[in-house]
Amino acid sequence: MNRIFSGIQPTGNLHLGNYLGAVRNWVRMQNEYECIFCMVDLHAITVWQDPAELRRSTRELAAAILASGVDPKKNTLFVQSQNPDHAQLAWIFNCVARLGWLNRMTQFKDKAGKDRENASVGLYAYPNLMSADILAYKATHVPVGEDQKQHLELARDTAQKFNNDFGVEFFPLPEPIIQGAGARVMSLRDGSKKMSKSEESDYSRINMTDDADTIALKFRKAKSDPDALPETAAGLEGRPEAANLLGIYAALSDRTRDEAIAQFAGKTFSEFKKELTDLAVAVLSPISTEMKRLLADPAQIDAILSEGAHRARAVSNPIMAEVQEIVGFLKAQ
């Protein structure tokens, strides 16, 4: 049986990278598989979060996920901190995974920057919590953007080491699902950096809450180059911004990048950007309208998430009972 798990941090706005790299694929998978989708607030606090802002962002993210089409009746949608099993399994994995493995994690290096000594311990151990998120449900498949690939490899190594150490065939080795042109959406200001919530300039990303004028302005200002669009993929060599914008167009229109290249071959950036804007507005504006409607009733969002947490615990509790038995913990009477 395939069980899907994926997570997203409730920090700042959901942006186009999260949508194309992850959430849109969640919507597509929900009819075929058992899906568990988690808003990972324990991960979020590995860097400082203002408490009121975290609460607001968590509800806003839930609204964005629901508005994108994730059906909370078919899937389990919940907040990580409402299921303590994640934190408990993460501790066990802190004792299974090796320091050397975590030292290789490029995301920690990027996020901690030069001031490593001052990064939280949580930021360093973050990948173990991510392994726990997935394995507390024995999930077999994990849809993510390309930036999470290394963390998924660590989750597989950890599952394997746990199984070997304790002589069991207990955890599955989860497979990443990294799909298509949306798997790596880059910054609109610099085609060599990924689109992210943490980049300072808001012009670097399209947020799901941006209105049509803002989307148009951001694409108009998006970095490009003076040449017309190429006729073949080879013509995108050394043109990261053109490659990124064509990739975004392809993902939004459900085409391959080659199809997008053929469609705009020889066109100027300004012609292309206009079509890109129209398409982005057509896809995103119904989502932001629905988000606003959902956010008008925060109690309803909280109720959906509580129900989700209840279902999540029902899946993870028996798995964790077995983990405790395997590790040698005494059962509470």
- Active-site residues, by number, are 111, 194, 197
Taking contact as CB under 6 A, which single stretch among the options 112-120, 137-145, 254-262, 270-278 is the one that binds ligand TYM? 137-145
Q: How far is the CB of 107 from ligand TYM (least distance, A)?
A: 8
Q: Is 14 in the site for ligand TYM (CB under 6 A)?
A: no
Q: Which residue is nearest to ligand TYM (CB)?
A: 21
Q: Which positions from 227 through 246 interact with ligand TYM, judged by CB under 6 A?
A: none
Q: Applying CB under 6 A, which of residues 133, 272, 295, 304 lies at the interface with ligand TYM?
A: 133
Measuring CA to CA, which residue among 279, 278, 276, 282 is closest to residue 264? 276
Torsion angle, alpha carbons of 107, 113, 114, 115, to 10: -100
> How crowded is residue 308: how many other Cβ atoms within 10 Å of its Cβ?
23
Nearer to ligand TYM, 25 or 277 (CB): 25
Torsion angle, alpha carbons of 109, 112, 114, 116, to 10: -100
CA 273 from centre of chain = 26
Q: d(Cα 77, Cα 252) in Å, to the nearest integer? A: 24
Asked if residues 306 and 76 have their Cβ atoms less than 8 Å apart, the reply is no
Judged by DSSP in three states, 168 sits in coil
Measuring CA to CA, which residue among 15, 87, 95, 85 is closest to residue 45? 87
Taking contact as CB under 6 A, which single stretch among the options 194-202, 255-263, 287-295, 297-305 is the one that binds ligand TYM? 194-202
Nearer to ligand TYM, 8 or 66 (CB): 8
Nearer to ligand TYM, 196 or 324 (CB): 196
Q: Applying CB under 6 A, which of residues 3, 5, 85, 179 lies at the interface with ligand TYM?
A: 5
Q: Is 22 in the site for ligand TYM (CB under 6 A)?
A: yes
Asked if residues 65 and 77 have their Cβ atoms less than 8 Å apart, the reply is yes
* Residues binding ligand TYM (CB under 6 A): 5-9, 17-18, 21-22, 40, 43, 130, 133-134, 142, 144-145, 147-148, 183-185, 194-196
